Amino acid sequence: MGKLIVFNNVSLDGYFVDGSGSMQWAHNTQKDAEWDAYIGQNVSGDGVMLFGRVTYDMMSGFWPTPQATQSLPKVATKMNKGKKVVFSRKMEKASWENTTLVKGDLVAEVRKMKEAPGPGMVILGSGSIVAQLAPHGLIDEYQFVVIPVVLGGGRTLFEGIPQKLALRPTQNRSFKNGNVLLCYQPEK
């Protein structure tokens, strides 16, 4: 069974996107070689990246660009070459390299993916997907990077979750740029 991880940046006031729906604020941190190395090695691992349509559109509009390749070459290569799945009932086709479009029931499809042999999976961004999967116990680990910025508004990652979700801490790590990695697993 493939492990499903959530990896997301979160502001100090708890938002994963700002009031305009952008995640750009998370990339304005000061230079830190240790942070850059961590992101280059871990952002998507060797697993399948899962996206909702909004995050997919944002990512596919940035990672294939020369700007992405110039600023974060290792991450850009992983993002572009890696296997991706986008969940959307409205999209007609997914054009970003190595992307599969899934229009079926999100929970049922992810359950099938977890039961199939193969690599693990990671959700990047895609708060609506996180909020839909979390109550069904399909997420195995949550990795949050707290970015030292206050946005004053936006969307929370668990917006609309219908019930309390108890998590236990498993790891934390601070970086010189002020970012803090916090890892959690659901309590069973």
pLDDT for residue 28 = 66
Across the chain, how many H-helices and E-strands are there? 6, 8
Q: Record the tokens describing residue 20, joined without a space.
A: 């305009």
Give the burial class of 186: count Cβ atoms within 10 A of its Cβ; 0-12 exposed, 13-18 middle, 19 or more buried.
Answer: middle
Tell me the CA distances in angstroms from 121 to 5, 7, 138, one per residue in order. 6, 10, 11
Which residues does 174 contact at the CB level (< 8 Å), separation at least 6? Answer: 180, 181
Q: What is the pLDDT of residue 43?
A: 62
pLDDT of residue 172: 96
Q: 61-74, pLDDT tens digit by residue?
A: 999 999 989 988 88
Compute φ and ψ for 7, nearest 5 degrees. Answer: -125, 115
Question: What is the model's pTM?
Answer: 0.90
pLDDT beneath 50, residues of the chain: none
What's the CATH fold of domain 4-186? Dihydrofolate Reductase, subunit A (3.40.430)
Determine the pLDDT at residue 44.
Answer: 52
pLDDT at residue 1 in the model: 61
Question: What is d(CA 59, CA 66) in angstroms, rounded to the nearest whole number?
Answer: 14
**Per-residue pLDDT tens over the stretch 5-30:** 999 999 999 999 999 988 888 876 67
